[in-house]
Amino acid sequence: MDYANESLSDIVLKIPMASELFRKNRLDFCCGGKKILKDACAERNLNMDDVMASLKVLETKEGISSEETRPLSEITAFVVKRYHDDLRARLPELVFLADKIERVHHDHADCPRGLAALMQNITDELFSHMMKEENILFPMINAGQGGQAGMPINRMMFEHDAHGKDLDKIHGLTNSFNPPAEACGSWRALYKGLQDFEAELMEHIHLENNVLFPRALGNG
Protein backbone atom coordinates (compact mmCIF):
# COMPACT_ATOMS: atom_id res chain seq x y z
CA MET A 1 0.00 0.00 0.00
CA ASP A 2 1.22 3.51 -0.84
CA TYR A 3 1.13 5.60 2.34
CA ALA A 4 2.71 8.74 0.87
CA ASN A 5 -0.54 10.72 0.83
CA GLU A 6 -1.98 9.32 4.05
CA SER A 7 -1.91 11.22 7.33
CA LEU A 8 0.54 10.15 10.01
CA SER A 9 -2.29 9.46 12.44
CA ASP A 10 -4.16 7.24 9.96
CA ILE A 11 -1.00 5.25 9.29
CA VAL A 12 -0.47 4.62 12.99
CA LEU A 13 -4.07 3.49 13.32
CA LYS A 14 -3.48 0.94 10.57
CA ILE A 15 0.05 0.00 11.66
CA PRO A 16 0.38 0.65 15.42
CA MET A 17 4.09 -0.25 15.41
CA ALA A 18 4.67 2.68 13.05
CA SER A 19 4.50 4.89 16.14
CA GLU A 20 8.03 3.83 17.10
CA LEU A 21 9.32 4.39 13.57
CA PHE A 22 7.77 7.86 13.44
CA ARG A 23 8.98 8.78 16.92
CA LYS A 24 12.59 7.84 16.10
CA ASN A 25 12.41 10.05 13.01
CA ARG A 26 10.74 12.94 14.89
CA LEU A 27 7.52 12.58 12.85
CA ASP A 28 4.70 13.90 15.01
CA PHE A 29 1.81 11.45 14.67
CA CYS A 30 -0.14 12.82 17.64
CA CYS A 31 -0.49 16.63 17.68
CA GLY A 32 0.66 16.91 14.05
CA GLY A 33 -1.01 13.69 13.00
CA LYS A 34 -3.10 15.20 10.21
CA LYS A 35 0.01 15.97 8.17
CA ILE A 36 0.49 13.60 5.25
CA LEU A 37 3.56 11.38 5.23
CA LYS A 38 5.35 12.81 2.19
CA ASP A 39 5.09 16.38 3.55
CA ALA A 40 6.23 15.33 7.02
CA CYS A 41 9.25 13.51 5.56
CA ALA A 42 10.14 16.53 3.43
CA GLU A 43 10.09 18.80 6.48
CA ARG A 44 12.48 16.47 8.32
CA ASN A 45 14.67 15.86 5.24
CA LEU A 46 13.95 12.14 5.48
CA ASN A 47 14.34 9.72 2.60
CA MET A 48 10.78 8.85 1.68
CA ASP A 49 11.74 5.51 0.13
CA ASP A 50 13.46 4.40 3.34
CA VAL A 51 10.44 5.31 5.47
CA MET A 52 8.06 3.55 3.05
CA ALA A 53 10.24 0.43 3.06
CA SER A 54 10.14 0.34 6.87
CA LEU A 55 6.36 0.70 6.80
CA LYS A 56 6.08 -2.19 4.36
CA VAL A 57 7.94 -4.42 6.81
CA LEU A 58 5.72 -3.36 9.70
CA GLU A 59 2.60 -3.74 7.56
CA THR A 60 2.99 -7.52 7.52
CA LYS A 61 3.07 -7.65 11.32
CA GLU A 62 0.15 -5.44 12.22
CA GLY A 63 -3.60 -5.18 11.76
CA ILE A 64 -6.12 -2.42 12.37
CA SER A 65 -5.93 -1.16 15.95
CA SER A 66 -8.56 -2.63 18.27
CA GLU A 67 -9.15 0.89 19.60
CA GLU A 68 -11.30 1.48 16.53
CA THR A 69 -14.01 -0.82 17.89
CA ARG A 70 -13.61 -0.89 21.68
CA PRO A 71 -16.42 0.79 23.70
CA LEU A 72 -15.54 4.38 24.57
CA SER A 73 -15.87 3.70 28.29
CA GLU A 74 -13.18 1.02 27.97
CA ILE A 75 -10.87 3.47 26.19
CA THR A 76 -11.28 6.17 28.85
CA ALA A 77 -10.63 3.59 31.59
CA PHE A 78 -7.55 2.38 29.70
CA VAL A 79 -6.23 5.94 29.32
CA VAL A 80 -6.51 6.55 33.06
CA LYS A 81 -4.93 3.26 34.10
CA ARG A 82 -2.23 3.03 31.44
CA TYR A 83 -1.26 6.66 30.99
CA HIS A 84 -2.59 8.94 33.72
CA ASP A 85 -1.62 6.74 36.66
CA ASP A 86 1.79 6.07 35.15
CA LEU A 87 2.49 9.75 34.50
CA ARG A 88 1.59 10.62 38.09
CA ALA A 89 4.20 8.13 39.26
CA ARG A 90 6.81 8.90 36.59
CA LEU A 91 6.97 12.70 36.42
CA PRO A 92 8.06 13.59 39.99
CA GLU A 93 11.12 11.33 39.62
CA LEU A 94 12.06 13.03 36.35
CA VAL A 95 11.79 16.44 38.04
CA PHE A 96 13.99 15.17 40.89
CA LEU A 97 16.65 13.82 38.52
CA ALA A 98 16.66 16.95 36.36
CA ASP A 99 17.16 19.12 39.43
CA LYS A 100 19.95 16.84 40.67
CA ILE A 101 21.83 16.94 37.36
CA GLU A 102 21.59 20.73 37.17
CA ARG A 103 22.89 21.12 40.74
CA VAL A 104 25.73 18.59 40.49
CA HIS A 105 26.84 19.29 36.92
CA HIS A 106 26.00 22.98 36.53
CA ASP A 107 29.52 23.77 35.28
CA HIS A 108 29.45 21.11 32.54
CA ALA A 109 29.10 22.46 29.01
CA ASP A 110 26.30 20.00 28.23
CA CYS A 111 24.35 20.54 31.45
CA PRO A 112 20.62 20.82 30.55
CA ARG A 113 20.12 24.15 32.32
CA GLY A 114 16.46 24.98 32.72
CA LEU A 115 15.29 21.40 32.34
CA ALA A 116 14.19 21.02 35.97
CA ALA A 117 11.98 24.11 35.76
CA LEU A 118 10.56 22.94 32.42
CA MET A 119 9.79 19.48 33.81
CA GLN A 120 8.10 20.96 36.88
CA ASN A 121 5.93 23.11 34.63
CA ILE A 122 5.11 20.11 32.43
CA THR A 123 4.20 18.11 35.54
CA ASP A 124 1.89 20.84 36.83
CA GLU A 125 0.23 21.25 33.44
CA LEU A 126 -0.25 17.52 32.88
CA PHE A 127 -1.63 16.90 36.37
CA SER A 128 -4.17 19.68 35.82
CA HIS A 129 -4.96 18.39 32.33
CA MET A 130 -5.54 14.83 33.50
CA MET A 131 -7.76 15.97 36.35
CA LYS A 132 -9.99 17.89 33.92
CA GLU A 133 -10.28 14.84 31.70
CA GLU A 134 -11.12 12.52 34.57
CA ASN A 135 -13.56 14.85 36.34
CA ILE A 136 -15.29 16.51 33.38
CA LEU A 137 -14.63 15.15 29.90
CA PHE A 138 -14.42 11.40 30.44
CA PRO A 139 -17.64 11.24 32.52
CA MET A 140 -19.43 13.05 29.67
CA ILE A 141 -18.07 10.59 27.12
CA ASN A 142 -18.94 7.60 29.30
CA ALA A 143 -22.50 8.91 29.68
CA GLY A 144 -22.93 9.09 25.91
CA GLN A 145 -22.70 12.90 25.85
CA GLY A 146 -19.57 13.13 23.72
CA GLY A 147 -21.49 14.94 20.99
CA GLN A 148 -22.03 17.79 23.46
CA ALA A 149 -18.39 17.87 24.55
CA GLY A 150 -16.97 19.90 21.68
CA MET A 151 -15.74 22.72 23.90
CA PRO A 152 -13.84 20.62 26.47
CA ILE A 153 -12.45 18.42 23.69
CA ASN A 154 -11.15 21.47 21.83
CA ARG A 155 -9.57 22.67 25.06
CA MET A 156 -7.87 19.32 25.66
CA MET A 157 -6.52 19.28 22.09
CA PHE A 158 -5.19 22.82 22.52
CA GLU A 159 -3.36 21.67 25.65
CA HIS A 160 -2.07 18.61 23.77
CA ASP A 161 -0.47 20.97 21.24
CA ALA A 162 1.27 22.74 24.12
CA HIS A 163 2.52 19.41 25.45
CA GLY A 164 3.93 18.66 21.99
CA LYS A 165 5.84 21.96 21.99
CA ASP A 166 7.25 21.07 25.42
CA LEU A 167 8.66 17.84 23.96
CA ASP A 168 10.52 19.92 21.37
CA LYS A 169 11.98 22.02 24.20
CA ILE A 170 13.16 18.87 25.99
CA HIS A 171 14.88 17.70 22.81
CA GLY A 172 16.66 21.03 22.56
CA LEU A 173 17.91 20.95 26.16
CA THR A 174 19.05 17.31 26.11
CA ASN A 175 20.59 17.02 22.63
CA SER A 176 17.68 14.70 21.81
CA PHE A 177 18.32 12.52 24.89
CA ASN A 178 22.03 12.05 24.12
CA PRO A 179 24.11 12.50 27.30
CA PRO A 180 27.83 13.29 27.09
CA ALA A 181 30.20 10.32 26.98
CA GLU A 182 31.30 10.91 30.57
CA ALA A 183 27.77 11.30 31.97
CA CYS A 184 27.05 9.67 35.32
CA GLY A 185 24.38 7.04 35.92
CA SER A 186 21.81 9.58 37.09
CA TRP A 187 22.30 11.70 33.97
CA ARG A 188 21.85 8.67 31.74
CA ALA A 189 18.82 7.52 33.74
CA LEU A 190 17.25 10.96 33.34
CA TYR A 191 17.63 11.00 29.57
CA LYS A 192 16.36 7.43 29.23
CA GLY A 193 13.41 8.36 31.44
CA LEU A 194 12.67 11.41 29.32
CA GLN A 195 12.82 9.31 26.15
CA ASP A 196 10.33 6.86 27.63
CA PHE A 197 8.14 9.75 28.77
CA GLU A 198 8.07 11.16 25.24
CA ALA A 199 7.10 7.78 23.77
CA GLU A 200 4.29 7.36 26.28
CA LEU A 201 2.98 10.89 25.92
CA MET A 202 2.87 10.68 22.13
CA GLU A 203 0.96 7.38 22.25
CA HIS A 204 -1.36 8.88 24.89
CA ILE A 205 -2.15 11.99 22.83
CA HIS A 206 -2.55 9.95 19.64
CA LEU A 207 -5.13 7.70 21.27
CA GLU A 208 -7.13 10.68 22.49
CA ASN A 209 -6.78 13.03 19.51
CA ASN A 210 -7.18 10.50 16.73
CA VAL A 211 -9.40 7.80 18.22
CA LEU A 212 -11.25 8.73 21.39
CA PHE A 213 -12.22 12.32 20.62
CA PRO A 214 -13.42 11.80 17.02
CA ARG A 215 -15.47 8.79 18.07
CA ALA A 216 -16.90 10.63 21.08
CA LEU A 217 -17.96 13.61 18.98
CA GLY A 218 -19.66 11.20 16.59
CA ASN A 219 -21.26 9.39 19.56
CA GLY A 220 -19.60 6.15 18.59
The string of DSSP letters for 173-216 reads HHTTT---TT--HHHHHHHHHHHHHHHHHHHHHHHIIIIIHHHH
Among the listed residues 85, 170, 93, 169, the one whose alpha carbon sits nearest the alpha carbon of residue 126: 85
The DSSP element (H or E) to which 96 belongs, if any, is helix 85-104
What pLDDT was estimated at residue 70? 86
- Residue 15 burial (10 A CB sphere; 0-12, 13-18, 19+): buried
Would the pLDDT of 24 be above 90? no
107-151 pLDDT, tens digit per residue, is 999 999 999 999 999 999 999 999 999 999 999 999 999 999 999
Q: Which residue has the higher pLDDT, 56 or 147?
A: 147
32-48 pLDDT, tens digit per residue, is 768 899 999 999 899 99
Would the pLDDT of 66 be above 60? no
CA distance 210 to 33: 8
Counting residues of the chain whose pLDDT is more than 70, the rounded percentage is 94
The amino acid occupying position 97 is L
Q: Are 85 and 133 in contact (CB under 8 A)?
A: no
